[in-house]
């Protein structure tokens, strides 16, 4: 275990995220200016692709962090039966689900039932496929639909708030099934599908178009929905960086692009693979 991972076990994860959340939401001119400018400089953020191109145009750090792209900045791939990237970021892992196991990092797997926090839903994805996209701090932080579908259910699952970068994924068992997350379940032309938005260290919140801003609680919260969303539509956003996991059923026979692998850089709307209806 690395020093970075050990430190994450020791720090008060939720309290740290709560404090970060209050500062990130502040509209105080000095607070927001300091955080936005320091962050933009540290991570080399360019606003060329974004609708608002001045750092002064954002009302808070949260507003800056979830900044909107210009129209058509991310073309949505039109390949028939395309499964597209839900976010800008880096592929953490992708491939087939081995019975009920997803690959987290080399030598580490975790259980789909733990990820979804529901054994019945997990059975829908036995021997299915998955793609995990890690959003770095500098990335565009809205999550979009990787397929057409009807959102039928969301499930908030409380948990830890470890970092979700590759270092932590390689060292913390069941990372994505331990961290706070929001499970979004869909009916699609391929059968049931899911997008799981996983929280992380200093992530101040998760929001979706169906639920609004998620309020952190100590128990699982499930809500029914019936919202039709098209591929490329905004599904939600993270307040500070995290991970989005696309889960497809076996019946979809998802064929991920041969050139994609762990550490491949992707953009929202980019073709990840195709499925069979």
Task: Choose the catalytic residue: 17, 121, 129, 144.
Answer: 144
26 is catalytic: no
Task: Choose the catalytic residue: 17, 60, 129, 242.
Answer: 242
Phi, psi dihedrals of residue 263, rounded to the nearest 5°:
85, 0
88 is catalytic: yes
Q: How far is CA 48 from CA 42, 59, 69, in A?
A: 17, 19, 9
242 is catalytic: yes
Order of strands across the sheet with 129-134? 221-229, 149-157, 181-188, 191-198, 243-248, 129-134, 89-96, 265-266
- Spatial CA neighbour of 169 closest among 243, 111, 68: 243
Task: Choose the catalytic residue: 17, 88, 129, 163.
Answer: 88
Just list the catalytic residues.
Answer: 88, 144, 242
């Amino acid at each position: 275990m690395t020093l970075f991972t050990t430190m994450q076990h020791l720090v008060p994860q939720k309290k740290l995220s709560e404090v970060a959340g209050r500062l990130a939401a502040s509209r105080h001119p000095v607070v927001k200016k300091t955080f936005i400018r320091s962050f933009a400089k540290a991570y080399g953020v360019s606003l060329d692709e974004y609708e608002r191109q001045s750092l002064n145009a954002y009302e808070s750090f949260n507003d800056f962090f979830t900044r909107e792209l210009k129209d058509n900045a991310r073309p949505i791939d039109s390949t028939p039966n395309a499964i597209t990237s839900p976010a800008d970021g880096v592929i953490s892992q992708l491939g087939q689900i081995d019975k009920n196991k997803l690959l987290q990092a080399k030598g580490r797997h975790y259980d789909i039932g733990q990820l979804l926090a529901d054994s019945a839903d997990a059975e829908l994805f036995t021997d299915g496929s998955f793609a995990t996209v890690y959003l770095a701090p500098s990335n565009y932080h809205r999550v979009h639909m990787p397929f057409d579908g009807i959102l039928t259910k969301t499930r908030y699952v409380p948990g830890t708030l470890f970092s979700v970068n590759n270092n932590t994924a390689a060292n913390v068992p069941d990372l994505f099934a331990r961290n706070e997350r929001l499970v979004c379940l869909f009916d699609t032309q391929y059968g049931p599908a899911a997008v799981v938005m996983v929280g992380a260290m200093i992530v101040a919140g998760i929001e979706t178009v169906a639920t609004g801003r998620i309020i952190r609680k100590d128990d699982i919260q499930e809500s029914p929905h019936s919202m039709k969303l098209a591929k490329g539509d905004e599904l939600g956003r993270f307040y500070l960086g995290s991970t989005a996991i696309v889960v497809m059923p076996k019946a979809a026979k998802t064929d991920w692009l041969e050139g994609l692998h762990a550490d491949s850089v992707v953009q929202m709307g980019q073709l990840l693979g195709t499925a069979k209806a």
